[in-house]
Each structure stands twice: as C-alpha cells, then as structure tokens.
Structure 1
Amino acid sequence: MKTSITQAGSHVGEEVTIGAWLANKRSSGKIAFLQLRDGTGFIQGVIVKSEVGEDIFQKAKSLTQESSIYVTGVIKEDTRSPFGYEMDVKDLTVIHESTDYPITPKEHGTEFLMDHRHLWLRSNRQHAVMKIRNEIIRATYEFFNQEGFVKVDPPILTGSAPEGTSELFHTKYFEEDAYLSQSGQLYMEAAAMALGKVFSFGPTFRAEKSKTRRHLIEFWMIEPEMAFYEFDDNLEVQEQYVSFIVQSVLKNCQLELTRLGRDTSALEKITAPFPRITYDEALKFLHEKGFDDIKWGDDLGAPHETAIAESYDKPVFITHYPTSLKPFYMQPDADNEDVVLCADLIAPEGYGEIIGGSERIHNLELLEQRIKEHQLEPEAYKWYSELRKYGSVPHSGFGLGLERTVAWISGVEHVRETIPFPRLLNRLYP
C-alpha cells in the first residue's frame, strides 16, 4: 500500500511503500539510517543488514544524496524522533540516481544557496518555512470566509498608482502606459461598494531599491476592504485576523516551529486586543529613548519601530500619522486635520511593520482636493472618485504583507527565505 510520510502515523505496524528522496544517510557495517523526505515531511528509515540481505543493504549504503526511491517497510512509533515515527525498511527500489548534488550537509554561503534556490527549497529548514507560509494562507481564507468576506481579484496591470509612480514598474500596455500593481486597494474599494466586505490575495510589486532584510521587489499581500467600517472597526478586524493566523500556526505547525527553533512562548501571547499608541506618543517615547534626531513629520524607520516594539509582547498599532507622510486617500482626523485615521501594525521581536491600513476618504470634494495636492492625474482616478459620487459611505481597509508575517511567525531573519523564489534588487535568477 502506498502512502505518504505525513500519513505514516495512521499505519503503525503496517507495511507500506513511500516514494521519497534521500536527504541524508549514515551507516555502519550492519545498519544504515536513511533520512527520507517526500514533500509532505521527513522520516528516518532504518535498514538492518541481517534482515534484508547483502544486496539490499549495499544498495542502501551506496545511495547518493537526493536520489529518488521507493522504500517499503513497517511504520513504528519512535519517541526519540520529532516526527514520532520511523520506518523499518524491508526493501527499496531506485527510481533515479542523483549525482554531484551541489547542496551538501556542510555550510554554504547565502549567495550560493540563492543561486540554487530551486534545490535549497528541499532542505528541512526551507520545507518548514514553506509549510508555515501555507498554513498562514489557509488560515487567511478560513478567517475571512467565516467572517463573511468575499474573495475578489484586482488586476495586476494598472493604469494608475495608489501611492504615486516613483516606486512602480512601468510597462507598455499596447499604446498606453501601465504599471505592475503595488496594491489592489483602489479596486478593492470598488468591490466593497458592491459586495460589502471583500479581500484579495495576490502579488504586488515595488521598484524600491532597498537591500534590507525586510524588503522584496515582488511580494504577496492580503488586502481586505470593508464598507461601513470606520477606523476603530478596522483595527479590530486586523487584531482578530492576526491573532487567528498565529494561533492556527501554533495549532497546526508545531513540528515545523520546533524544526526552526522558534520560541513558541512568544507566539502564545498573540491574542487580541493589541496595544495602540499614536504617532505623537511614539515620538515622545523615542525621544525618551535617546532618538533625538527624529522630529514631528518624519517617518519612522526600522530602528524606531524596533525600539517601540521591544516595549510590548504583542504587535502594537501606531496610529494617527501626519497627513504629509501618507497617501492621498486617507481620511483626516475630524479633531486634527494634520493627521489621518491610519495605523501601522508593528510586529514584535524586530520584524517591523506587517500591516498598513486606514479609513478611506469618502467625501468627493476632499478626495478631488487630495488628488490635486498630490499632483496626480484626475482623469486616471475618475473611476475611483466616482465611488464617492454614487452612494458614498465610510469605509476602511488594510494590507498585510505575507512574507514579513511569515518571517515573524517562523522566526527567520530575512524575508528572502519566506517566499519560494525571492525577487531582490540584484536577483532575478532562478
């Protein structure tokens, strides 16, 4: 009977066959230990010479790293294994013999591993990160479906830019100018006016020439938009959503978190509600911590966000940023028009901003004024402005960057490990 490694626990005491690759092996004169992977997980296969005979044992000893095989044997419980099971191998068949596999168990430099990303994905560490990424995606759909949101897919090719064109990839759309999307938000606002509560999940592109561990050129965003939701309503959805995905990873990815050495006690604290501080309060805190260089109207950088986050064991909202720092579509605070009803959600442990969101302007005259102030082309935003012309309502939304969130929850240092094939400033291969 064929099965997979992840299903091995359902076949204790039974003889099964698994298609696998050899990740590693060690052997003595009488016994060999095969580290096997099949994409669903990792298991150790134990092959004893006296039980299988000389031919099969020598075949096992001569196996090369990443050779593909069928292994047949009996599944046993093994409390020493993080997985909890191992296989007593009775027979094996070589499907394809791998030769000179470049990524050996020794240490390799980052650039070498990135050049071989198509193979590096096979390692147990990268496998764990990808499984956590998958769980976050699965939990995202579960959360928004159970909350009554409708999935909508905004276009990737756009004729205008939500936040200006300076950091967008330009292309030609036949005879017109077009851009790779930096956000689906404007289109999601239109969808919210039709469907109430919507969310999108797709790739976004930023032509930002940054080399930090937090930045990618191509990354994935979850972008909900909600009609009749005001500022505080928006923050509540964000903290409920983030709490949900963290708890889902804790529940369903314990083996992967253990493999990565993640301190899960820090994640166990991530439950709504989250602390909130204003931009003004953040500046006061930073000045008390010795950040004398930052003044009102300056954006917060990574060191500032990290210093603030270190004071909390949960993500923290920083709200009410200066209007001058934020895009044209954000609703001003009725009590202070110098700031807007927005919030950045800063992850703990130095991982920075994972969500940006705001209440959106719903007054047509104010939106048209903002478009003019930001020197944007009114005609390009005519359709967007019309959302305020025909039954405008207060509405809010946010965007969560998937890769930064994966990095934080899994505890890996750099976002390049959190997407299968990262696009970085100087990397388009493989």
Structure 2
Amino acid sequence: MPPVAYIQDIAQFDGQDVTLRGWLHNRRSSGKIHFLIVRDGTGFIQVVMSKADIGEQLFARADHLTQETAIVVTGRVRADARAKGGFELTGSGFTVVSESVDYPITPKEHGVDYLMDRRHLWIRSQRQQAVLRVRHEVIDAVRDFFNNRGFILADTPIFTPSACEGTTTLFPVQYFEDTTAYLTQSGQLYNEANAMALGKTYCFGPTFRAEKSKTRRHLTEFWMVEPEVAYATLDDAMDLAEHLVESVVARVLDKRRPELAQLERDTSKLETVRTPFPRISYTEAIERLKGAGLPVEWGGDFGGTDETVLSGQFDRPVLVHRYPAAVKAFYMKPDPQQLDLALCVDMLAPEGYGEIIGGGQRLDDYDLLLQRIKDHQLPQEAFEWYLDLRRYGSVPHAGFGMGIERVVGWICGLEHVRETIPYPRLLYRLYP
C-alpha cells in the first residue's frame, strides 16, 4: 500500500504513488474513463480512473459509486495545470469503506431552509469548507496578534450572576435549585478584573444575546475576542483595534487566497485594508448621514441601514467615536470635554457589513460608576465585585470586543452571517 497523503500536501508527492482516504464528492464518466472528485477534509482532487489501469471489475464498480461514499483510493500524483489545485491522481485502485445511500444534498439547487436543516451535511460542500477554513485563519490570526504582543489569555465565565449590558437580552439558566444564572453577553467586566491583575489580557469565547432579531448580521450565539488594557485610553483602544483588523485581513489574504477564490471574493476590496483607518466623531457621522438623505437625529443609535450608508463612504473600516452616553452601556467613561458623550468607539466594516468592533474607555471613578449602576436600575449587590476594581487601585483602562462571525462574513463577502459558524443559532433555529 502506497503511503497515505493528505490532499493539501499532494504537491510533495508529484510523480509518486499515494493512498488517499476520504469521500466521493462527485463523479462523472466519459466512455472508458471515470472522473472522481474525492475530498479528504483537507481539500478536493480529481482522480482519473481508466479500465486499463484498474481492470474491468473495479471500473464497473466505480461506475456505481454514490455521492459521499467513504473510499480509500490509490494512484499516482501528476501535475496538471488544468486541474484545480494543479494536481490530479491517476487511479490504480480503490476500496469502499462505507456506502452512502440517497445523500440528501445533491448538486442541484436547494433552498436555504433545506440546507440549514441539514447543516451537519452542508458543511461538507466546497463553499462551506472554504468559509470554515477562513474562520479558522481569522481565529488563528487573532490569537497570534495578541500573543505576540504580550497579552495573556484569561477566559471569563459563561455562567454569570448579572447582566453586562442590560437584562432584556439575557438567556436565563437554572443554576441548581434556587438560583438563576445567565449566559454571558460579554466577558468584558471580568476581563477588566483580569487587566488589573495582568496588565494586558484578552478573553475569547462564545457569547449569547437573546435579541429577537432576524437580520443578516445577528446570531444568538457567537464568538467574540475581547482585549482589555490597564492604563489605556480610548485612543489606545482605537489604535489596537486598527492594527488587529489590518493584521487579520493580511493573514487571510496571505494564507487563504484559494478559499477566497472559491467564494468568488473580490480581494481588491480587502487589499485596501491598511492603517490608518478613518476616524470620525458620532456628530460628524450624523451630518454625513443627513447629507446622504437619511432621517437621523442627534442622540439616537445607528441602525443597520445607517451603518451601511456610512461605511459605504470609505474603502476600509471606519471608526466612529464619542456616541451619546445615553445610548451606551453604564460602564462607559464620559468625555471630560463633553460629559454627555461617552469615550467609546464602533468600527464599521465597508461594503455594508456594519459594526465588527465595539468598545472604549471604561469608567474608573467609583462614585460615578455606582451612580450609573443605580441609574440603570441594576442590582448593586451583583456588582460589588466590579466596584471593588474601583475601590482598590483603580486606573484608566480600555478595551473592545470583536465579533468573529461578522469579521468572517465581511472577509468572505457573505450575504448572511449564518454561514460563518458551523452550527448557527438564530431566532427560529436551534437544530441541528
């Protein structure tokens, strides 16, 4: 038996006999030749099988192989500029490991709901694999970015006793007999404590928002990376966010161009993602939106259409800073120059993808934070530990959260965020 090879490494075996272990993705025949498209989890390759090479019995068997049948194939690797990936296999034999009968996702068109009901199988397709490979690269790039800059990963609880950004979007969970816990909306509050211990830290994990939203940008369960830095200001957070996004996009362009090509992504729109990014105030953003004919007034938060129009005026992400404090979370530090504004920032991705980062400078004054907790009618006892951070050595600090799925959706050029995570959780979808 020739050595086992993975398709992603096939170039190393040019001219050699190898064994591939995978699944039949597709098949077509032309007279005395079968063309099998085989995948093994690392890629796809065409296997050319002729009656002369594999014998009449195996050739007839190959003519009845069904989609997604698990097979082990042997053959010789051959460079071919016409082949996708630059190589194909001249088959010398195969064995069937397990047959697939009546595979439900055929090459014909299927509706989105049909595919989502079979998401566990849909991710076998070339397009969905390409998206998930880009997602992997984004996550890898994020971790490398922070690890190489001296940040410490300190993950935060998924079960929390209280809200981070208001109680209306929390998922309650029964925590033993008589206690209600909540699935985390954000690790930020705990990450502030981590930063007071470690200086530069980040958490990276799933977060949950019980928003009854059906837009193409919303999931009820998504992954977020959240850095927090002691002795940092709003400007420091904006600088960090710019360099993070620039680094992630550059990494995907460097490592995942074949996947972007599979997704038919116009990479020229990603090539312009270079720092510095444009920065505008909330007030300037309002004026720009009014100039574009949108019915917006100073004091309100931006909706999806507002973000789309605003970001469409730039060829790279734009940072909008200093929103009205009234529309931001209780922990945002007010701008000393204008107390009705918060030292906060949102980063909006171009091409209509909207907010991918939200953050800012945190409120470090004990008395004002306590008043904010009361103003928002939050239970003080649940935040005593958070108030401790202001009692014992409080310092200016800042950070942000970046949603992985929104970043993947933008980089891949996807219409809906549901394709950016293996098993999306939406308002009306909890299966599979």
What TM-score, normalized to structure 1? Answer: 0.99
Question: Which of 33, 36, 61 pairs up with 2:38?
Answer: 36
Per-residue CA deviations over 1:359-407 (Å, capped at 9, x if unaligned) read 0011111111111111111111010011011111110010000111100
Question: Which of 134, 156, 165 pairs up with 2:158?
Answer: 156
| 1:202 is the counterpart of 2:208 | no
Separation of aligned partners in 2, 1:151 and 1:75 = 43
What SS does the corresponding residue of 1:66 show, helix, strand or coil? coil
Question: Which of 326, 329, 335 pairs up with 2:328?
Answer: 326
Question: Which of 169, 172, 175 pairs up with 2:174?
Answer: 172
Separation of aligned partners in 1, 2:406 and 2:302 = 17
Question: Which of 347, 359, 373 pairs up with 1:371?
Answer: 373
Per-residue CA deviations over 1:80-111 (Å, capped at 9, x if unaligned) read 23312111111111101111000000000000
Query: Residue 283 of structure 2 aligns with which residue?
Result: 280
Separation of aligned partners in 2, 1:266 and 1:84 = 26
The code of the aligned residue for 1:310 comes to G
Deviation at 1:172, TM superposition (A): 2.0
Deviation at 1:197, TM superposition (A): 0.6
Separation of aligned partners in 1, 2:225 and 2:56 = 56
Contact 1:200-1:222 within 8 A present in 2 as well: yes
Question: Which of 332, 339, 347 pairs up with 1:345?
Answer: 347
Contact 1:82-1:255 within 8 A present in 2 as well: no
Query: Residue 183 of structure 1 aligns with which residue?
Result: 186
Separation of aligned partners in 2, 1:187 and 1:40 = 38
Per-residue CA deviations over 1:53-84 (Å, capped at 9, x if unaligned) read 21121122111000000000111112123312
Deviation at 1:210, TM superposition (A): 0.5
Query: Residue 255 of structure 1 aligns with which residue?
Result: 258
Query: Residue 226 of structure 1 aligns with which residue?
Result: 229
Query: Residue 238 of structure 1 aligns with which residue?
Result: 241
The alignment's C-alpha RMSD in Å is 0.8
Separation of aligned partners in 1, 2:399 and 2:270 = 25
Aligned residues: 429
Separation of aligned partners in 2, 1:274 and 1:55 = 63
Query: Residue 305 of structure 2 aligns with which residue?
Result: 303
Deviation at 1:165, TM superposition (A): 0.8
Where has structure 1 moved over 4 Å in runs of 4 or more? none
Separation of aligned partners in 1, 2:341 and 2:194 = 27
Deviation at 1:214, TM superposition (A): 0.4
The code of the aligned residue for 2:290 comes to H
What TM-score, normalized to structure 2? Answer: 0.98
Separation of aligned partners in 2, 1:81 and 1:212 = 39
Separation of aligned partners in 2, 1:46 and 1:393 = 66
Identity, % of aligned positions: 55
The code of the aligned residue for 2:109 comes to E
Unaligned runs of 5+ in 2: none
Contact 1:319-1:342 within 8 A present in 2 as well: yes
Separation of aligned partners in 1, 2:402 and 2:82 = 38
Per-residue CA deviations over 1:286-309 (Å, capped at 9, x if unaligned) read 111111x21111111111111111
Contact 1:149-1:197 within 8 A present in 2 as well: yes
Separation of aligned partners in 1, 2:125 and 2:238 = 38
Separation of aligned partners in 2, 1:144 and 1:85 = 37
Separation of aligned partners in 2, 1:83 and 1:74 = 16
What SS does the corresponding residue of 2:236 show, helix, strand or coil? helix
Mapping for residues 372-411 of structure 1, pairs under 5 Å: 372-411=374-413
Separation of aligned partners in 1, 2:418 and 2:18 = 37
Query: Residue 424 of structure 1 aligns with which residue?
Result: 426
Per-residue CA deviations over 1:268-321 (Å, capped at 9, x if unaligned) read 111111101111001101111111x21111111111111111111100001100
Contact 2:53-2:91 within 8 A present in 1 as well: no
Contact 2:6-2:40 within 8 A present in 1 as well: yes
